[in-house]
Amino acid sequence: MKKIIILFFTTLCVSSFAQTAFPTDNAIWNEEYRISPYGFHQYGIKGDTTINDLLYQKLYILSDTTLECINEQSLPYGFIRNVEQKVYFKPYYWDYPEIDILLYDFGASVGDKIVHGGIMDHTSFYLDEDRYSIIQKIEIENNKKVFYLDKSLGLNDVWYEGTGSYRGLFGTIDNYIPLYESFPNKLVCFKNNDIVEFLDNPQCNRCFCTPDNIDEIRMEIINIIPNPTTGELRVVSSEYRVVSIEIFDIYGRMQEIPRFARNDGGNSPPFMEGWQPQADGVVINIAHLQAGLYFVKIVTEQGEVVKKVVKQ
C-alpha cells in the first residue's frame, strides 16, 4: 500500500490551529477523478468577499496547477466560511442565500453526528437534510486531528484537520454511489501557502505530474476563452496545428458538440481535419450542456493537451 505523506510543520501547525481550522488564502487541492480519463482537477482559494455581512473565502475551479490562472473575469465556484472549527460552503449558483452547506466540523468528538445539510451531484448542489457523517475515531498525527467516519451512504471517510477529506474537498457531500469499493474522487495533494501539507499521488511523487501525452506542447500556447462560459468557447492556438477537439464530462463520457464556427464564416465538422491556427480561433457552442466541469481534449500534430472548462 502506498504511504500517504502528511507534512505538517510544528510551528505552522500551532499558529494555524489557534487561528482557523481551514485555509483562508493561497491554498490548492489536487484531486484524482478515478472514473474519468482526464481525471485530475484542482480547487483553489484566493481572496475573500462579504455575503450577508459574513466573511467568506473565494473558491475556484482552476484551469491550471497554480492560482495565477485566476483573474478579474474568473467567477468563483463558491465560497468557504470558517466558524470556529466548522467549515461551511456556499455555492456560487445557489437558491438559498441564507443557507450554507456544512463540509467539516473539526471540533466534533467521537460519536457525534455531523449533518451536512446538502449534497453535491455532478458539480451541482442541492439541499439534503439526510446527508450526515458519524465520527467513529479520532487520532492525532503531527499535532493535527485525523477523523475516521461513517457516512449516510454506508461509506467510510477520513478527514484531515485543516485539509479536508481523503475523498476530495467535497468528498463529505458527494452524491456518487460507487458500484465497487473504489470511490471516484481521491485527494492526491494539498498545498497551503506553497507548502505541500498532504501528498498521496499515484502517478508521481509530486503534487502535479506532467502527462506523457502532452509531449513537448506548451500548455500556455493553447487557450480556451472565456472560462467559465455560459455557452461559447473559443479555442485559440498560436503555434500548433489543431487536428481535433473532443469534450468529456467528469465521468469520461464524450459530449456531443455542434459544428464549429470559424472566423472566416465557414463551418467545420465536430472533429476538425487540418484546421490552421487563426487569430480568432475556433468557436464551440456548449450552451446545451449541463452546468459543471468538463475536459476539452485538443489534439495537435505535436501531441495533445487537455484543458478544463467550467460551464455555467
pTM for this structure?
Answer: 0.70
Domain count, the chain: 2
Residues 180 and 126 in one domain: yes
Do β-strands 164-165 and 156-160 pair in parallel, antiparallel, or remain unpaired?
antiparallel
Same domain as 166, residue 274: no
Q: What per-residue confidence (pLDDT) applies to 154?
A: 65
The last residue of one of the domains, among 134, 168, 199, is: 199
- Residues 141 and 33 placed together within one structural domain of the fold: yes
What is residue 299's predicted lDDT score, i.e. its pLDDT? 75
Asked, for residue 264, whether it belongs to a domain, the answer is yes
Residue 199 CB coordination number (10 Å): 19
Please check whether residues 48 and 169 belong to one and the same domain. Answer: yes
Q: Are residues 93 and 141 in the same domain?
A: yes
Mean pLDDT, the chain cut into blocks of 10 residues (312 residues total): 45 39 92 64 92 95 80 86 95 91 97 94 84 94 92 81 92 68 74 92 78 48 79 77 75 66 46 48 80 79 76 81
- The per-residue pLDDT for range 232-277, each reduced to its tens digit, is 888 777 677 777 778 877 666 778 765 554 444 444 444 444 444 4
Q: Out of 199, 234, 259, pick the residue that ends a domain.
A: 199
Asked if residue 88 is part of any domain, the answer here is yes
Q: What pLDDT score does 264 carry?
A: 47
Mark whether 305 and 242 lie in a shared domain: yes
| pLDDT given for residue 61 in this prediction | 84
Same domain, 194 and 220: no
231 and 136 in a common domain: no
- Which pLDDT score, from 0 to 100, does residue 75 have? 82
Domain edge (last residue) among 199, 222, 238: 199
Strand 164-165's sheet: what is its strand order? 113-115, 132-141, 144-151, 156-160, 164-165
> What is the distance, to the nearest Å, from the Cα of residue 312 to the centroid of all Cα atoms in its chain?
15
220 & 147 share domain: no
Distance CA 39, CA 209 (A): 12
Q: Which residue has the cell 505552522?
A: 12
- Quickly tell me which residue has 500500500 as its cell: 1
Percentages (nearest 5) of helix, strand, coil residues in the chain = 5, 45, 45
Cα of first residue to Cα of last residue in the chain, in angstroms, is: 39
- Residues spanned by the domain of 271: 212-311
89 and 232 inside one domain = no
Can you give the pLDDT at residue 153? 64
CATH number of the domain enclosing 260: 2.60.40.3080
Which pLDDT score is estimated for 284?
A: 78
How far is Cα 192 from Cα 163, in angstroms, rounded to an integer? Answer: 9
Is residue 204 in a domain?
A: no
Same domain, 45 and 109: yes
